[in-house]
Amino acid sequence: MFLASAANGWLHSNSLYYIAGSGDLLISIPEQDWVVKIGYKGGKGTGNVLWRLGEGGDFQAKSDDPYPWFSFQHDVGFDPPGSNRLVLFDDGHRRKDKYPKANNRGQVWELDEEHHIATLAINADVGVYAVAVGSAQSLSNGGYSFESGFINPGPSVFSRATEVSPAGKVVYAQQLNGTLTYRSFRVPDLYTAPRK
């Protein structure tokens, strides 16, 4: 903290996901642009880093996108639980630095943990750019919901929930004016808890 002119949160984490099958943990560390798998083993593991997913990490990205990796990501988890499909919201700050017109993305990665290959299955441009926060969720229809939580174009902030089809095409968007939304969850009704 005292080694730079401004403090930074390089260990700041914004989501923790428990992998029920192995007892391990996924931690999203946005300042490092990594999702890290920790050998927790339900409290009996070593606590060692098993792998790092993201630019400069342990996986090779399979994608035709010139900038496939996420940055300052939020709400990372295997969805559905027990699958190899990792769902996340890509705030995309590093990509925005390189491509100023870039928007946030909703991403679904298929992980081959044995060979350390990450295939970008869905890379949905949600049409807006939030400077912070966000969420990601699979839906029962095979699509996904992504929340751009803190959009600040001027004197007022807003947020936008965007639904994409199973192919990653935007099919619905809902905007909330005057406030930010840290996380949002689509639910079938007011009485059924979300899966995630």
- Provide the pLDDT confidence category of residue 153 given band limits of 50, 70 and 90: confident
* pLDDT surpasses 90 at 74: yes
142 Cβ contact list (under 8 Å, min separation 6): 165, 166
Percent of the chain with pLDDT strictly greater than 70 = 95
With a cut of 90, say whether residue 185 has pLDDT above it: no
Digit-coded pLDDT (tens) for 64-73? 999 999 999 9
- Amino acid 63: pLDDT: 97
Q: Kindly state the average pLDDT of the residues 159-173.
A: 95
Label each residue of the chain as H, E or C. Answer: CCCCCCCCCCCCCCEEEEECCCCEEEEEEHHHCEEEEECCHHHCCCCCEEEEECCCCCCEEECCCCCCCCCCCEEEEECCCCCCEEEEEECCHHHHHHCCCCCCEEEEEEEECCCCEEEEEEEEECCCCCCEEEEEEECCCCCEEEEEEEECCCCCCEEEEEEECCCCCEEEEEEEECCCCCCCCCCCCCCCCCCC
Work out the average pLDDT over 13-30. Answer: 95
User: What's the chain's average pLDDT?
Assistant: 92
Interval 59-63 mean pLDDT: 98
- pTM, whole model, 2 decimals? 0.91
pLDDT band at 160 (very low <50, low <70, confident <90, very high): very high
- Residue 137 confidence (pLDDT) above 80: yes
pLDDT: is 15 or 8 the higher one? 15
The pLDDT confidence band at residue 38, using thresholds 50, 70 and 90, is: very high
Average pLDDT, integer, range 57-78: 96
pLDDT score, position 4: 64
Q: Would you place residue 196 in the very low, low, confident or very high pLDDT band (cuts 50, 70, 90)? A: low
pLDDT, one tens digit per residue, over 102-117 is 999 999 999 999 999 9
